[in-house]
Structure formats: structure tokens, C-alpha cells
């Protein structure tokens, strides 16, 4: 019985983690940037073949909750956070394409 309860708790936890990820039909809006709000489209990333766990892992964005990581352009430009992919090789380079993320 104890094992069943543990398995049930793990299943509920996993389901709730998936529920807070950005699905293809959702866009997150970040408004703290002085360069204009930043829109994160789950659809654009899913259409590019990106799986949630590629970014939501121990290194980049460990928690699937908005506001749990301080995202700065310095971090992105140094190849961390969004800059892991937005480096001009895998995806457009963040330094060269400000208006692709920042919307005035």
C-alpha cells in the first residue's frame, strides 16, 4: 500500500510539472525589461522541435515556474540560459536580433 501511495504522489508531481510548462498553445509575457516586454512562445519552440526538458533541467531553468530565474542579457550573451541556443548556430543570435524577443 505504501508503494502505491508513493507512486501516486510521484505521478501527481510529474503531471503538475508538465502542466506548468509552456505548451504550444501558450505564450508567456515578461514585462521587466527596459527594452520592452519579452514574449516566449511555446508554439515557436515546439515547432522548432525543442522539448521542454532541454531547457527545464538542472542547469538552465530548473523550475518550471515564471520568475524563478533572473534572466539578464549578460547571462544570455555569455552563452547561458536562452543563450545556450540563441547563439547564431542553433537559433538566431540574441545579440543581433533584439526585436525578435523584445517587443516595444
Confidence of residue 8 (pLDDT cuts 50, 70, 90): very low
Classified by CATH at the fold level, domain 22-103 comes out as: Cytochrome C3 (3.90.10)
Q: In the predicted model, is pLDDT for residue 70 greater than 60?
A: yes
Q: In the predicted model, is pLDDT for residue 36 greater than 70?
A: yes
Note the pLDDT tens digit of each residue in 41-54.
989 999 999 888 88
**Mean pLDDT in residue range 43-72:** 85
Predicted TM-score of the model (pTM) = 0.69
7-16, 37-46, 50-59 — which is least confidently predicted? 7-16
Q: In the predicted model, is pLDDT for residue 4 greater than 60?
A: no
Cα–Cα distance measured from residue 77 to residue 71, given in angstroms and rounded to the nearest whole number: 11
Predicted pLDDT at 13: 45
The DSSP result for the chain, as a single string, is -HHHHHHHHHHHHHHHHHHHS--TT-EEEE---TT-EEEEEHHHHHHTT--HHHHSSSSS--SSSTTSS---HHHHHTT-GGGGT-SSSSS--GGG-GGGTEE-
Amino acid at each position: 500500500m505504501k508503494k502505491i501511495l508513493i507512486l501516486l504522489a510521484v505521478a501527481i508531481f510529474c503531471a503538475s510539472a508538465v502542466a506548468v510548462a509552456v505548451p504550444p498553445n501558450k505564450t508567456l509575457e515578461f514585462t521587466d525589461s527596459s527594452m520592452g516586454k519579452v514574449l516566449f512562445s511555446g508554439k515557436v519552440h515546439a515547432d522548432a522541435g525543442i522539448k521542454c526538458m532541454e531547457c527545464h533541467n538542472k542547469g538552465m531553468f530548473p523550475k518550471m515556474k515564471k520568475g524563478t530565474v533572473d534572466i539578464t542579457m549578460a547571462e544570455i550573451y555569455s552563452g547561458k540560459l536562452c543563450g545556450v541556443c540563441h547563439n547564431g548556430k542553433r537559433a538566431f543570435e540574441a545579440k543581433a536580433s533584439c526585436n525578435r524577443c523584445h517587443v516595444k
